[in-house]
Structure 1
Amino acid sequence: MSKPSPRVVLVTGASGGIGNAAAIAFAEKGDTVAVHYSASEAKAKATLEAVEKAGGSGALFQADLSRVSEIRRLYDEVYARFGRVDVVFNNSGAGAEALIQDTSEEQYDRMFDLNVKGTFFSLQEAIKRMGQGGVIINNSSVLGSHPMATTGCYCGSKAAVSMLTKCAAKEAGEKGIRVNAVAPGPVLPGMVGEDMVNRMVNLSPFKRIGEAMEVGRLCVAIASDDMSWVSGQIIGVDGAAFC
């Protein structure tokens, strides 16, 4: 079933990195983007300006996605503003490098509350509210299936996101909603520090790491009707670094 044009796309964590790139990539198709942010209103405003410059339209929405009440408020406000949501990109997330024995309870809670709890209850709201032809994309990670020392907490949270994606696809498919995940390797701009960039660049045969826009444009492709029979998939985007 073809989606209305322009579509309404909710991008969480749209104030920087992959979220910013995805918002712009959807705007390049003329879509309306609900630009979500948690704390950085200035960066979110810059994303909205870039969305409008790219040919789309949109509005800003603030919410703390580690709290279920805030997730529900976000969806209420987006639906009140636009009347529908056709695509959701659950991009908000947190990460930190630390050995398991050095990981604090605060670090653990921050990553699992945002990466897992936030994704789970955003999925819940999206599946309840979206109709036939809806598309949900979660942001997982290559580290959700490839363990790496000093990232145990992050790896565990992203493994959970990947499994949630597959379970949600089984349930949401009965309503005609597709659910997939992107699994990026390190990208710029993004959350990776210079040390990790230097370590990761040689893992890919292309001898570089990815660009956030390469993930953003993959999201646009996944949301297109050309991929109408693709659901429940975790799609890697890492330049063959972790294949």
Structure 2
Amino acid sequence: MSVSTSSPRVVLVTGASGGIGNAAAVAFAEKGNTIAVHYSCSEAKAKATLQAVESAGGSGALFQADLSRVSEIRRLYDEVYSRFGRVDVVFNNAGARGESLIQNTPEELYDSIMDLNVKATFFSLQEAIKRMGQGGVIINNGSVLGTFPWASRVVYCTSKAAVEMLTKCAAKEAGEKGIRVNAVAPGPVVPGMVPPHMVPKFEGLSPFKRIGEAREVASLCVAIASSDMSWVSGQVITVDGAGFCGLQGDLDS
């Protein structure tokens, strides 16, 4: 089944309760789309996102799922398809971060980050590619740290590097069904997962001398999903205000 490439479309945003997810849900809603607002634990924040979606001119519904479990991912897709009949755009945004060097990383931290950043993205891609048709769009949320090594964020960096390769492989497979797969690779943004004490350092990295905003990543996602970018697939697009361009060394130094 082909999917619509013009508004209104059904857009599934995972991790839509805050930060980039919230901004993306609202940005897609501003185009008149229907938003499947996914959350894991923060129901109150998810409800706030849904209210913002409706205020922006869109419509939608809430969907709860623990994306670290494959059975929950499949249930999420079942419920979204049951409610709306289709999904036209998927933004795999849900993620986790953590701080640890290799030598002191506990198994639990490793598993929690890899499960949500890699496993969840992989099996969401699986469900989306199986179910979506011609014209479908999948966007994965990567990070500039997928290519820039940061010793004390080793698990996070590794997970986002995996997301980049997943995107490129998935684009080959999904392209045979007419589905485009790309990734955004944001630098630090607010609101997001940036520790407050790191904000001045990140502001200093960019020639614009500021930190990015979640809405700027969201705008890129909307652009990627548009029919104007129908020949763009298998790409990882950095959005960081040239902040990491040519950067050497470690951010902990």
- Could you give the per-residue CA deviations for residues 79-111 of structure 1, whole angstroms, max 9, x where no partner exists? 000000000000000001222222211110000
Instruction: State the alpha-carbon separation in 2 of the partners of residues 4 and 209 from structure 1.
Output: 32
Higher mean C-alpha displacement, 95-104 vs 21-30:
95-104
The answer to whether the 8 A contact 2:25-2:53 is kept is yes
Over aligned residue pairs, what C-alpha RMSD do you find? 0.9
Instruction: State the alpha-carbon separation in 1 of the partners of residues 244 and 5 from structure 2.
Output: 34
Among 38, 41, 45, the alignment partner of 2:40 is 38
Q: Which residue in 2 is equivalent to 1:203?
A: 205
Q: TM-score under structure 1 normalisation?
A: 0.98
Instruction: State the alpha-carbon separation in 1 of the partners of residues 139 and 197 from structure 2.
Output: 29
Among 127, 147, 150, the alignment partner of 2:149 is 147
Displacement over 4 Å in runs of 4+: none
Count of matched residue pairs: 243
- Could you give the per-residue CA deviations for residues 2-27 of structure 1, whole angstroms, max 9, x where no partner exists? 52530000000000000000000000
Equivalent position SS for 1:201: helix
- Could you give the per-residue CA deviations for residues 192-234 of structure 1, whole angstroms, max 9, x where no partner exists? 1112212211110001110000001110000000100000000
Higher mean C-alpha displacement, 15-24 vs 146-155:
146-155
Instruction: State the alpha-carbon separation in 2 of the partners of residues 126 and 16 from structure 1.
Output: 23
- Could you give the per-residue CA deviations for residues 162-200 of structure 1, whole angstroms, max 9, x where no partner exists? 000000000000000000000000100001111221221
Instruction: State the alpha-carbon separation in 2 of the partners of residues 191 and 129 from structure 1.
Output: 31
Amino acid at match of 1:120: F
- Could you give the per-residue CA deviations for residues 99-156 of structure 1, whole angstroms, max 9, x where no partner exists? 2222211110000000000000000000000000000000000000111121111000
Q: Does 1:7 align with 2:23?
A: no
Query: Gaps (5+ residues) in structure 2?
Result: 246-253
Query: Gaps (5+ residues) in structure 1?
Result: none
Alignment map for 1:93-242 (pairs within 5 Å): 93-242=95-244
Q: Does 1:73 align with 2:75?
A: yes
The answer to whether the 8 A contact 1:30-1:56 is kept is yes
